[in-house]
Amino acid sequence: MQQSQSITPSQSAKVTQGSVQAVFKPKVPGADIQPDLSHLTPEERMIIEDVINRQRQEELIDR
């Protein structure tokens, strides 16, 4: 059973799923949140980065 968590840019959060942890720590409130992808394979990292980039593009269009 998984729980989803909402993370706002002004928060720091540690999300744990099994033994995999992603740490989100924005440098400045309102800054982009960049997850730690170092534990992923290059292929997995590329997929996640593509999704993040598509989301950023959608947000730019919505502005």
Confidence of residue 46 (pLDDT cuts 50, 70, 90): very high
Query: Are the CB atoms for 33 and 52 separated by under 8 Å?
Result: no
Confidence of residue 34 (pLDDT cuts 50, 70, 90): confident
Which three-class secondary structure state does DSSP give residue 52?
A: helix
Average pLDDT for residues 56-62, to the nearest whole number?
A: 90
pTM of the model: 0.47
Tokens of 7: 């993370």
